[in-house]
Chains A and B, each alone.
Chain A
Amino acid sequence: MVGAPQDIPVTSPWPRDRHTGILRLATAGSVDDGKSTLIGRLLYDSKAIFEDQLSAVERTSRARGEDYTNLALLTDGLRAEREQGITIDVAYRYFATPRRKFIIADTPGHIQYTRNMVTGASTADLAIILVDARNGLTEQSRRHAFLATLLRVPHLVLAVNKMDLVGYDQAVFEEIAAEFTAFAAKLDIGDLAFVPISALHGDNVVQRSENMAWHDGPALLSHLEHVHIASDRNLIDVRFPVQYVIRPHQATDPELHDYRGYAGQVAGGILKPGDEVMHLPSGMTTKISHIDTARGAVDEAFPPMSVTLVLEDDLDVSRGDLICRPHNQPMVTQDVEAMVCWMSDAVALTPRGRIIVKQTTRTVKALVRDLHYRLNVNTLHREEDIDRLGLNEIGRVTLRLTQPLFCDPYSRNRQTGGLILIDEASGATVGAAMITEKH
């Protein structure tokens, strides 16, 4: 049996309007690091686990002859996973506290780790990297940290787990933290925090641990609740990829007959009625007449709002176009430099290979003009003179596109700088790419 959940308030049915946003987090680590136990603990202590789910887990634990309720079982999804004790794919978990709603992208540590971790990290505000206090940093923890920074996850937490098994020894924790800090200097990490925990016993997960009074930082959950994410979005560069043109054509309502709205999700910046804007690819400028939502017109729009822009002038705007400010334009280019993570075992990425690229609302054909190097994710060394990129490999490419993209370096904007790569023949998603600065 696990004890009663630690006492944190049950989610208020009445979220305080301004304060309950969403934090998306990715967790990396293998089963051995206690990742599933940590997630089980967060879900259990935040009362996101229900009695029928818990009793199913208790039954399974007993049937397996385990002497405590294995919270890791809460996150096993598919039959094959339960039978083989592995995690196959990214699973999404949800819990909430009165401060925030949390979406966890739970990615397996070993099998297909790169593909899955890249997928989970692509939308994450924060990544938790778990290490086992007894083993210290491993190749895998370095790899996970690298992937989180490659995908520009703004906040990183190194959670040193199983502190109970090293006698809650501060020196063990400090040594791992120092080693990781030295490694992190080679990466571009925005915000880094360290927490010593025991997921199994709940130390420093939801409440600060009495066993580790020497730790002066908050417990993990408190850090997740308070980490400042408001500044992570790009609110400077206005980027509005046009997704869909709304034309009501309702003869019954003459007012709507000439309505022409450009629907989309704001990918950067703050738009206001009256703002002068530029349309790409035409380069024509006009003003925003108003910004519509079904709830009525709004006086500003910012990421990640889905809105409809009505422009003052009648321009020829269609899906795949982009609205920006005249003095702050994205790159408009048919030659894209990018870091690619390849995700297919059926086909490889090869120089001169053809691929379909989807970026924001734009889909274009492309040719792999150059494959510059493969990055060894363990050593961070560049392996040059290669002729292919296989499953779970990361490399640097130049793509030549049949149509220009309106894009930004991924480091500047994750929405306009990220691409997915699609295989023409099978239609499968075979890779992800992050646009780099031009050299």
Chain B
Amino acid sequence: MGHPRTDYLPTQLDVLEAESIHIMREVAAEFERPVLLFSGGKDSIVMLALAERAFWPARIPFPVMHVDTGHNFPEVLEFRDRRVAELGVRLVVASVQESIDAGRVAEETGRWASRNRLQTVSLLDAISDHRFDAVFGGARRDEEKARAKERVFSFRDEFGQWDPKNQRPELWNIYNTRIKMGEHIRVFPLSNWTELDVWQYIAREELEIPSIYFAHPRSVFERDGMLLADNPFIPRAEDEPVFEATVRYRTVGDMTCTGAVESAAATIKAVITEIAATRITERGQTRADDRTSEAAMEDRKKEGYF
């Protein structure tokens, strides 16, 4: 007998990939109308790549949905449309502007006015209009402390609400998919991935990501320690001068609440080196929506946010 060729221990990315693919196939097998939320951000890019791998050589057997605040980075929308066309999947757009026009929600006002929170209504309306019964989201448990407590298969009642105190126990890799009419399940295939895992997977798989994740010159202004892109959707105060900076984005959300970081990292390798060394969380550094209170994410999640 020679030495065994391998100890049959896959790498962490292999384990995470296998787990996510198992989750996606479970959904495709047990639900009638799944949909995958795709924003063009790095997490949903990885999620879409995993879906492509899970069903290869067949096409992804469900549509993707983008909740469009109307305040998106144009680079990201362009990327979204190209990627959807490549994969031959159907794109559903849930428009916050339409929710506003229909009187379903009212535009926020004030300095931190954002359509971020309004997305929840557009999302829940779209889920109910299309009768989606399973909704894939790219949320990770390492992102935020309320998310650390969420199940991979997260049950939502007919109002789309999350009840953190009444979650289904989740054992082994066996997922309970039973729901009644009008209820749905949010499914988080990236639950066990960290920010660094996502970046390392993007690098290993050579996934394309929108250009704004890499260092580029941009007109920005500073607010509460964050660099925000100068854009028509945020009213700027007089003491908030615009200046040119070389920045990249660490998360990609709505232009009104996503900040950039100063960086010269122009390649995926340089970005990963910076991420590995950073001492601030991605949400703490670049998301105004999580700065409003200790429980900002928990409150939004209970209402039905991603």
Contacts and interface: CB of A to CB of B under 8 A. Distances in A.
Interface of A: 10-13, 15, 17-18, 20-22, 47, 50-53, 56, 76-80, 82, 88-94, 96, 100-101, 103, 115-116, 118-119, 122-123, 229-230, 233, 235, 243-244, 246-250, 256, 259, 261, 263-265, 270, 292-295, 302, 304-306, 308, 319, 343, 356, 358-361, 414-415, 418-420, 422, 427-429, 432
Interface string B13-52: 1111111011001101100000000000000000000001
Interface residues of B, number: 67
Nearest to B140: A94
28 contacts: A11-B196, A13-B275, A13-B276, A15-B12, A21-B11, A50-B280, A51-B279, A52-B280, A52-B284, A53-B281, A78-B298, A82-B294, A91-B145, A91-B148, A91-B149, A94-B194, A243-B29, A244-B25, A246-B58, A248-B58, A249-B58, A265-B22, A304-B22, A305-B14, A360-B174, A420-B174, A427-B176, A429-B170
Given A78-B145, A264-B25, 8 more contacts: A20-B11, A78-B295, A79-B295, A248-B58, A302-B8, A304-B10, A306-B17, A306-B25
Contacts of B53: 293-295
B146 interface: yes
Nearest to A116: B169
A246 B57 contact: yes
A122 B152 CA distance: 15
A414 B172 contact: yes
Nearest to A266: B18
A305 B15 CA distance: 7
Contact of B10 (A91, A295, A305, A418): A305
A343 B276 contact: no
Interface centre among B9, B180, B273, by most A CB within 10 Å?
B9
What 9 A-B pairs are tightest by C-beta distance, nearest first? A52-B284, A294-B53, A427-B178, A13-B276, A294-B56, A306-B21, A122-B171, A248-B58, A306-B18
Interface centre among A12, A115, A123, by most B CB within 10 Å?
A123
B119 interface: no
Given A79-B298, A89-B164, A119 B171 contact: yes
Interface string B87-129: 0000000000000000000000000000000000000000000
Contacts, number: 203
B292 interface: no
A246 B298 contact: no
Contacts of B1: none
Contacts of B18: 265, 304-306
Contacts of A264: 22, 25
A286 to B, nearest CB: 21
B29 A432 contact: no
B277 interface: yes
B174 A96 contact: no
A78 B176 contact: no
A246 B57 CA distance: 8
Interface string B150-181: 00000000000000110111111110101110
Contacts of B52: 294
Contacts of B192: 92, 94, 103
Contact of B196 (A13, A79, A243): A13
B103 to A, nearest CB: 31
B115 to A, nearest CB: 25
Given A15-B11, A88-B164, A244-B29, A265 B280 contact: no
A71 B25 CA distance: 39
B258 interface: no
B180 A427 contact: yes
Contacts of B275: 13
A50 B178 CA distance: 38
A106 to B, nearest CB: 8
Contacts of B59: 248, 250
Interface string B200-221: 1000000000000000000000
Nearest to B7: A230
A418 B277 contact: no
B191 interface: yes
A41 to B, nearest CB: 17
A56 B295 CA distance: 12
A21 B12 contact: yes
Nearest to B269: A13
Given A119-B169, A306-B21, A429-B168, A256 B57 contact: yes
Nearest to B142: A94
A118 B171 CA distance: 8
Interface centre among B22, B59, B169, B272, by most A CB within 10 Å?
B169
B55 interface: yes
A427 B179 contact: yes
A52 B281 contact: yes
Contact of A306 (B22, B58, B142, B194): B22
B285 interface: yes
Given A306-B54, A415-B173, A89 B9 contact: no
Given A51-B279, A244-B29, A358-B174, A17 B11 contact: yes
B60 to A, nearest CB: 11
Interface in B289-306: 294-295, 298
Contact of A235 (B8, B171, B294): B8
Contact of B55 (A76, A246, A270, A427): A246
A6 to B, nearest CB: 16
Contacts of B165: 80, 88-89
Contacts of B10: 21, 304-305
Interface centre among A247, A250, A306, A414, by most B CB within 10 Å?
A306
A270 B25 contact: no
Contact of B276 (A12, A419, A429): A12
Interface string B217-255: 000000000000000000000000000000000000000
Contact of B25 (A18, A77, A263, A304): A263
A80 B178 CA distance: 28
Contacts of A116: 169
B80 interface: no
A103 B53 CA distance: 24
A281 B255 CA distance: 55
B164 A94 contact: no
Contacts of A306: 17-19, 21-22, 25, 54
B141 interface: yes
A40 B303 CA distance: 29
A17 B10 CA distance: 9
B141 A94 contact: yes
Nearest to B153: A429
Contacts of B15: 21-22, 304
Nearest to A92: B141
